[in-house]
Structure 1
Amino acid sequence: MTYDGGPGESDPGPGVIPGLGDVPRVPAGGSGTSPKKGAGKKKGAKEPAARLPVARVAVDVSLAHLDRPFDYHVPAAMDDTVVPGCRVRVRFAGQLVDGLVLDRVAESAHEGRLSFLERVTSSEPVLSPEIAALAREVADRYAGTFADVLRLAVPPRHARVEAEPDEGPWSQEPPEPGGPGPWAAYPAGRSFLRALEDGRAPRAVWTALPGPEWPAAIARAVAATLAGGRGALVVVADGRDVDRVDAALTEELGGSGRRHVALTAELGPAERYRRWLAVRRGRVRAVVGTRAAMFAPVADLGLVVLWDDGDDVHAEPHAPYPHAREVLALRAHRAGAGALIGGFTRTTEATQLVESGWAHTLAAERNRVRRSMPRVRPVGDDAEVAKDNAARTARLTHIGFETARQALEEGPVLVQVPRRGYLPGLACVRCRTPARCEACQGPLALRSAHAAPYCRWCGRIAGDWHCPECGHRHMRAVVVGARRTAEELGRAFPGVPVRTSGKDAVLDRVGEAPALVVSTPGAEPVAEGEGYAAALLLDGWVLLGRADLRAGEETLRRWMNAAALLRPSAPLVVSADGGLPPAQALLRWDPITYAERELADRRHAGFPPAVRMASLTGTPAAIRDLLAHARLPDGAEILGPVPLAGRDGADQRADRKADRDAGRERALVRVPRAAGAALGKALQAAQGIRSARKAPDPVRVQIDPLELI
């Protein structure tokens, strides 16, 4: 195959294709070579199509220095089947690889001869021009490759699904405009809906009232968008939220659910592709799904919705690690669509959008908030300790016990525990300082009730541990996990059913009957009827004490998401010092002020989202090499590199050990927010240089990563 360097690039020489090794070249298109002038035609030689004979193809190769389209001749026999957006197979570096046709043009800017397309895998146009342009911008913004983003945006093909006959008409009639519904509780709610119905593009950061009405509010906004003649896309955190919004959309839109589709991984590849095709073919214009749905090809997009944008599941774990909030904001900007970023709390990133003027605040009045919020009572401050001497060391204080006992007479009680499992953490008996390994500062834990404590990071036995704060030599289990908490509550409340919800088994709903529901954050089931009669948020210091820039923000998010499931004015006991900013925000149910102060602190310290920051992870030599080739924008600061620090959590122990064995380090590159796009392109170009030189040690680049510490 002939190397197509694109306009302005030279051929690297015969037999060499950068990044793919020294491989023999097929003479200018192989058997499909266009004949030279004056030469006789070979028998069976392919002829280019008479109309638009050149196809620009995005080849499925993730090498950074080959991150551009390549031109191929379209054989005359494939003229009718090669359409923009279809899947093809092409010969690249002597191998057959997949590709997507971006466009067909009359001629190529490449001066050499072009190879022919090998075959058309499917004539289904799965890549729309809008998604192709979005994928290019996301790749540039996150210092990634176009091919990697396309893998996230276009699902794998299922030939049987593509060949299926039309399963029936989808409802194309727009719904009739309805009343404001749940939006009547917000002063700007009615005007927001009117703007959607009129086909305009309102953008709002929504701080939702506590309670179960948020899916109905989203469904009403989608209905208003469809009534205005445009499509809508809703992205939520998990399958349970998809089910709630799906049910709300079915009730709001009618049509037996034929006006929208839900896209989740639980559907299976075939059914998910079937529904995705319905969206791509324009048969349905409303979509709700999890993170992967952020690239759903909704026609004439008029509204994007992101619920609970602070949840880390919205960050894609595969390169180039885009965040759903950024992708949806880009889509709204490019399509001239409205945007609704909502949650019970507010992130600093959403606050940055409000301060920049890109979006406006959508929140209820304080009197309405006070009527809907629970009654919060912290048990970690000095006043509570004076009343209850065990308040600082006991997991279930007297106040918490009495609150649960009285609430069980009226309905279920929610108990939130930061971690799952059994005895995962230890602390000093006297002052409750977390027990850490003296060698590596990792958390100590017990394998069994009679075994000596060991370090969960390095495995060292800590036989002679003593508290660095008070000198005491005895430890106790302080973070016992959901399973152990359920056992303790079962003994404390005999005869009361105890149910658990966590990673192993997540409950969707619980009944109205009295019961104790022990859950890890994010797995709290919805209580039928009016909601939970009370809630206990245990071990708050575990969430607040994490070595994470977003520890306070994430703690408040987890607390408020659980508290929103309670009945109005129901008691909520949180084991934390009431003077801490997250606890104060929970007491007043004022996440907006907390987020504004947090953003001001980040701006003062020079942390995202006030600035743009890139994380570079790799060996020291690889990081130095990447930075040497990166033309960073003016004002860029390089922090580090420093040895890669371990992350809390037993499930990360193997990763930490591998990181240390490889001697990997992390460097941070900080630039002003306005230079964020230039930072991504600079690092992208540097990755391309290293890729062309076949550098042995890769460097992982993440823009505005969730983990900075």
Structure 2
Amino acid sequence: MDTPLPHLDRPFDYRVPDDLLAEAGAGCRVKVRFAGKLTDGVIAELVDDTAHEGRLAPLHKLVSPEPVLAPEVLTLARAVADRYAGTLADVLRLAIPPRHARAEAHPREDQAPPPEDPGSDAWYPYLDGPAFIEALAAGRSPRAVLSVLPRHEPERAVAQAVAAAVRSGRGAVVCVPDVRDVARWDAIFTEVLGEGRHVVLTGAQKPAARYRSFLRVSRGEVPVVLGTRAAAYAPVRDLGLVAMWDDGDDLYAEPRAPYPHAREVLLLRAAQQSAGVLLAAYGRTAEAQSLVESGWCVSLSGDQAARRREWPQLTVTDGTETGAAPVRLPHAVFTAVRQADGHVLVQVPRRGYRASVACQRCRERAECPACSGPLVQRSARAPLGCRWCGTTVEHWRCPHCGDDRLRAPVVGQLRTAEEFAQAFTDHRIVTSGGASVLDHVEPDADERVLVLATPGAEPTVVGGYAVVVLLDTWLMLARDDVRVAEEAHRRWFNALALAAHHGRAVAVGDSPTLQALVRADPVGLAHRELAERAETHLPPVGRLATVEGPTAEIAPLMQRSWTPHTEILGPVPVDEQRERLILRAPRREGSALAAALKQAAAERSAAKLPPWRIQIDPIDF
């Protein structure tokens, strides 16, 4: 039943009236009377008898005879709910899109015949890459983590792997981070697989289009689904491959309860249905590396010579000139841009104009007089404004030293664009970031473009960039987050991958910190990250759970019995009224810890108390 209450997270038995027997089937939507109200539900299964003692209430209504919940998806949803200490109903809301009657009325179509063999040329640069495709085509289920080389079209490589699975009579689910990626991948999938062999499934689609795509998969009309995290639950029949591009992107983390990560959903699904696995990215996460080091997946990458040949040559500068203080535009960057025989990409860690301001004399941060929040400047002529409360400050004076002059320790891409426009008048300056993100830049003939983009907003350009500049790399490492090094390197590798063949790259930062970029070695970085997680018993080596709730109700949880080796950290304040408790346990006790948390939530739900916010292995903590 569609109820989020943890103490009701179980199936309920109802009698199917005689007039509904012909149409009611497993997976159909129904309405039932529960606690005096009509409640939505889905038929899990039809049985001949029941263990319930007494008279069974009948189904009130069959909403639709269309089966929308496949048995394997129900099993997956139950496993996801247990893994993340959530309820089945919450997971099914993520798995089954809202009904659209007009889409259900659309006539059924026959599935297109398997595609012709598109070859495996996109896999030749990788050691054992062609063998991976051959295994899929033979009906086996290989599992691999692929470190993609620049300019080798990861979408084409994944599409060829999908084609091999389809030719063996099986289906595939492919997840990419956002709709910008979906559009590009959709075109390549159509080219490799042919028309009518895959559908796109994202949360951004209009309800009718999304439900129609869902039904085409559910009815077996197409064997392949391409989409964002919403596609991880798609009811693909005879699943042979689950694939994911750039699994470290935080867009894969579901913001709604029970907060599952799409990568973990796909891995659970592959294990349950004996499907192949392909995690592909330019960088590598500690989670992906743990799959390799455990032996569950194999690592596919180019040899050292190929990596050195394909990745751009990187120069690292600390920004100083002849022993002086660091400068905003170091000589190494200026020279590389000036000598570039083509377009230039500059990655700027912060969006906006002046993302932070401070007193010129005493260097104290400029704060809002109303709420003490940080002040920012959004454009050259805009007054100072508070990032927290929005208060405009026309005449600012430092409360510490009385000076009214300002400096900008953190500069956004808009201010950087002004500086680069003055230094490189022969380039057209383009910015990408914030609310204005570009997918592609198309320069005019004989025009050189200099693109300033925030991390993740870098547009592509035909032929690639002659020079890629990574500005202020120290700023991306300044966040207080256990994943900060992994996330920063993921974004840096993604930016460097946009370089042209024989392109150059310059990074402004600390050379020892950036050695993984210099050596083009994302695997070595992931190995070190995983070793550090092991020392601190953090995911993926351990299990971490956070519980947020009112201050008076979190403290008693410290006395509760969890698992034999659970460590209790905190509580720490979240705001004036709420606290967060952190529970850390070995990976082998992860299921028991989730079950204990779910039991505690059920007890609270039965007592009609407000719910806690429970997260298992959150991406930021």
Q: How high is the TM-score relative to the length of structure 1?
A: 0.82
Do residues 303 (structure 1) and 241 (structure 2) align? yes
Residue 67 of structure 1 is matched in structure 2 by 9
Once the two structures are superposed, residues 265-317 of structure 1 have per-residue CA deviations (whole angstroms, 9 ceiling, x without a partner) of 34311111111110010110011101110111111100000110110000000
Q: Which among 181, 205, 223 is matched to residue 267 of structure 1?
A: 205
Instruction: Answer whether contact 1:466 1:474 (CA < 8 A) is retained.
Output: no
Do residues 348 (structure 1) and 286 (structure 2) align? yes
Superposition pairs of residues 306-705 of structure 1, within 5 angstroms: 306-380=244-318, 385-387=320-322, 389=324, 392-394=326-328, 396-407=329-340, 410-426=341-357, 443-446=374-377, 456=387, 463-464=397-398, 476-511=407-442, 513-528=447-462, 530-580=463-513, 583-626=514-557, 631-644=561-574, 660-661=575-576, 663-696=577-610, 698-705=611-618
Shift of the 351–232 alpha-carbon distance from structure 1 to 2, 3 Å rule, reads same
Gaps of 5+ in 1: 1-58, 645-659
Q: Which among 238, 242, 255 is matched to residue 182 of structure 2?
A: 242
Once the two structures are superposed, residues 377-415 of structure 1 have per-residue CA deviations (whole angstroms, 9 ceiling, x without a partner) of 2221xxx6244745x241x222212212222xx322112
In 1, Cα distance between equivalents of 2:334 and 2:258: 48
Q: Which amino acid aligns with 2:11?
A: P
Instruction: Answer whether contact 2:245 2:279 (CA < 8 A) is retained.
Output: yes
Gaps of 5+ in 2: none
3-state SS of paired residue (1:340): strand
In 2, Cα distance between equivalents of 1:439 and 1:599: 44
Residue 281 of structure 1 is matched in structure 2 by 219
Q: Which amino acid aligns with 1:480?
A: V
Superposition pairs of residues 74-223 of structure 1, within 5 angstroms: 74-166=16-108, 169-171=110-112, 173-223=113-163
Instruction: Answer whether contact 1:240 1:508 (CA < 8 A) is retained.
Output: yes
Task: Quote how far apart the aligned CAs of 1:360 are.
Answer: 1.2
In 2, Cα distance between equivalents of 1:437 and 1:455: 6
Residue 173 of structure 2 is matched in structure 1 by 233
Instruction: Answer whether contact 2:347 2:452 (CA < 8 A) is retained.
Output: yes
In 1, Cα distance between equivalents of 2:270 and 2:520: 30
Question: Identity of aligned pairs, percent?
Answer: 51
In 2, Cα distance between equivalents of 1:188 and 1:433: 56
Task: Quote how far apart the aligned CAs of 1:486 are.
Answer: 2.4
Task: Quote how far apart the aligned CAs of 1:439 are.
Answer: 13
Residue 657 of structure 1 is matched in structure 2 by none
In 2, Cα distance between equivalents of 1:564 and 1:441: 41
Q: Which amino acid aligns with 1:385?
A: T
Shift of the 222–448 alpha-carbon distance from structure 1 to 2, 3 Å rule, reads closer
Once the two structures are superposed, residues 66-112 of structure 1 have per-residue CA deviations (whole angstroms, 9 ceiling, x without a partner) of 00111111111111111000000111111111100001111121112
Once the two structures are superposed, residues 649-697 of structure 1 have per-residue CA deviations (whole angstroms, 9 ceiling, x without a partner) of xxxxxxxxxxx24x2111110000111111111101110000001124x
In 2, Cα distance between equivalents of 1:449 and 1:258: 51
Q: Which amino acid aligns with 1:498?
A: I
Q: How high is the TM-score relative to the length of structure 2?
A: 0.93
Shift of the 554–305 alpha-carbon distance from structure 1 to 2, 3 Å rule, reads same
Tell me the matched-pair count: 614
3-state SS of paired residue (2:354): coil
In 2, Cα distance between equivalents of 1:362 and 1:351: 11
Instruction: Answer whether contact 2:413 2:454 (CA < 8 A) is retained.
Output: yes
Shift of the 137–431 alpha-carbon distance from structure 1 to 2, 3 Å rule, reads farther
In 2, Cα distance between equivalents of 1:452 and 1:420: 17
Q: Which of these two proteins has the greater Rg computed from alpha carbons?
A: 1
In 1, Cα distance between equivalents of 2:435 and 2:196: 33
Task: Quote how far apart the aligned CAs of 1:450 are.
Answer: 9.0
Once the two structures are superposed, residues 141-164 of structure 1 have per-residue CA deviations (whole angstroms, 9 ceiling, x without a partner) of 100000000000000000011012
In 2, Cα distance between equivalents of 1:575 and 1:428: 25
Instruction: Answer whether contact 2:321 2:327 (CA < 8 A) is retained.
Output: no
Once the two structures are superposed, residues 233-274 of structure 1 have per-residue CA deviations (whole angstroms, 9 ceiling, x without a partner) of 1000011211222111111122xx211111223431111111
